[in-house]
Amino acid sequence: MSSKPKDRPVLRSARSYGGQGRDGFIHRSWMKSQGLPDDAFDGRPVIGICNTWSELTPCNAGLRDVAEHVKRGVWEAGGLPLEFPAMSLGETQMRPTAMLFRNLLAMEVEESIRGNPIDGVVLLGGCDKTTPGQLLGAASVDLPTMVISSGPMLNGKYRGRDIGSGTDVWRFSEAVRAGTMSTAEFMAAESGMSRSPGTCMTMGSASTIASLAEAMGIALPYNATAPAVDARRRLIAHEGGRLIVRMVHDDLRLSKLLTRAAFENAVRTLAAIGGSTNAVLHLLALAGRVGVPLVLADFDRLSAGVPLLVDLQPSGKYLMEDLHYAGGLPAVMKELGSLLHTAAPTLTGKTLGESCAGAECFNREVIRTLAAPVKPASGIWVLSGNLCPGGAVMKPSAADSALFTHRGRAVVFESIEDFHARIDDPALEVDADSVLVLKGCGPKGYPGMPEVGNMPLPRKLLEKGIKDMLRISDARMSGTAFGTVVLHIAPEAAAGGPLAIVRSGDEILLDGPNRRLELLVSEREIATRLEVWRKNQGPPKYTRGYYRLYTEHVTQADRGCDFDFLAGASGSTVERESH
Ligand code: FES
């Protein structure tokens, strides 16, 4: 029998499963073909398990097993679990970039939740764009919702040492180009890097979003860090299944947790963990769905005074497994203390402060104290200036502090193909002080804003031992990447931002401490060049299908790259019957 207390309101699933007439017959009868008994439809909470499992998303390959453990918990608590698939976005597989499809996943998830007779939903995701896409969709329906992540892969191993997803790919590939690593050694690292199902085990975008889900109170403690193959991942799933039933009874909707305080906690936690710049886009878009006023400048303002506490790649040394054994996110958030809104509610019914109160740190090398952090400069710097009227971002913890203030001549690439064709040309006029400028990689221009902002350095400079250069673009970069890289320039070149008219030889100034990015060309000259640029624009390249929808409606990076028509929520009500 259902555990539904008598004084609770009738659930939305009852409209489908509660009737005695023809419609109730139709809704129940076909479901009974799966072997469900009569009392599965007795008014108990129906829990949708939205699963992005796919063999083309290896990071999410463990989610079938996780779903089974969620179901155990749901049944045990008197609910009815029903699993459904959602488009899976494999970051390493999809072209031109998984980010192009985040909003498509969000639309699919939103309509799947709203259109089906479910009362609460568990989002099973992990790989970079899956969890954000699911969350955006779920937020616009606003049922009780929980995030359960794939969990990180086991630490990579190569020749007796730990290696990190992504971060060491960038390092090793530059070493091969510099001539300090052989191709055979490079290939040998391939199998050692990815040793189990799960997400990148560096503090990449997947680990970042899973961590922020904990910080926002929409995921259970240790959800972000328990390795994908650890039994505790299954325990979290089982407990999550029980809890989501209670959340439905308590009508604990996503909007009750995703408050301004929750977003502020996320931004500060992002700084403390040295999280991915991609989180900026996803949090801005999510705030737009739930109507929380969050703007790009908040990321800089809120992360001021929050040092880097977690020594994880790419900003530091260790990996997610180490963070889990060191105490996980609860230990990090306990250290942050009053820098967080500890009274913010979480899905368990406890406040965030209560949730972290019992956490302990078992390894101060991995989780540092506020008094002795990994680095004092962390978080996200939000730049302004005539080269980025809508803003741009930079991650100081992953950059070379010697380049925080830098003036140099631009070496411009009109596209990523142009970049690949010329970057290793011995005749390329470039030196260590040059500023590499990449255009055409924004949301509309690519389309989809790929992770190419951490451009490889010119081979001839790598061979001289140069390890970092100032690079600027309208692209994103992988959360696993590092370097002095200015990203997310808005408006992007393809939207007519000033980036479009930068020429090789122009001087560019980055003044990180004062958050300025300037093209040192007169305003008059900029206006003249932009006028010529506009006149030379042809008709839109994409005339049909999703690419057309995307390029016509995607917003710029400073608004999170959501579609303009998807901001806000439509709730869970569906007025009309299907038959
Ligand atoms: Fe899937 Fe990194 S590629 S989480």
Q: Which residue is it, tokens 């038959």?
A: 579
Cα–Cα distance measured from residue 86 to residue 142, given in angstroms and rounded to the nearest whole number: 17
Three-class secondary structure assignment of 462-482: HCCCCCCCEEEECCECCCCCC
Q: For 2-31, how does the pLDDT look when each residue is reduced to its tens digit (9 = 90+)?
A: 444 555 668 999 999 998 999 999 999 999
Percent of the chain with pLDDT over 90: 95
Q: For 287-319, how does the pLDDT look when each residue is reduced to its tens digit (9 = 90+)?
A: 999 999 999 999 999 999 999 999 999 999 999
Atom of ligand 1 nearest to the CA of 206: 4
Alpha helices in 425-522 (DSSP H): 459-462
Query: Is any ligand 1 atom within 6 A of the Cβ of residue 92?
Result: yes
pLDDT of residue 219: 98
Query: Is any ligand 1 atom within 6 A of the Cβ of residue 206?
Result: yes
Atom of ligand 1 nearest to the CA of 90: 1
Structure tokens at 440: 């055409």
Cα–Cα distance measured from residue 470 to residue 454, given in angstroms and rounded to the nearest whole number: 10
CATH 3.40.50.2300 describes domain 381-537: no
Tell me the three state secondary structure of residue 82: strand
Peptide bond into 37 cis (omega under 30): no
Listed residue (447, 382, 380, 441) closest to 413, CA to CA: 441
pLDDT, the chain, mean: 96
Q: Which residue is it, tokens 């989501």?
A: 244
Q: Do β-strands 507-511 and 405-413 pair in parallel, antiparallel, or remain unpaired?
A: antiparallel
Cα–Cα distance measured from residue 543 to residue 368, given in angstroms and rounded to the nearest whole number: 52
Listed residue (420, 337, 336) closest to 379, CA to CA: 336
Q: Residue 474 phi/psi, 5° resolution?
A: -95, 15
Q: 93 Cβ partners below 8 Å, 6+ apart?
A: 56, 57
Q: For 349-373, how does the pLDDT look when each residue is reduced to its tens digit (9 = 90+)?
A: 999 999 999 999 999 999 999 999 9
Query: Is any ligand 1 atom within 6 A of the Cβ of residue 93?
Result: no
Q: For 176-189, how does the pLDDT look when each residue is reduced to its tens digit (9 = 90+)?
A: 999 999 999 999 99
Distance 489 CA to ligand 1 centre (A): 24
Atom of ligand 1 nearest to the CA of 57: 1
pLDDT of residue 5: 53
CATH 3.50.30.80 placement within the chain? 381-537
Q: Is 15 exposed, middle or buried (0-12, 13-18, 19+ CB in 10 A)?
A: middle
| pTM of the complete model | 0.97
Q: 554 Cβ partners below 8 Å, 6+ apart?
A: 103, 443, 444, 447, 561, 562, 563, 564
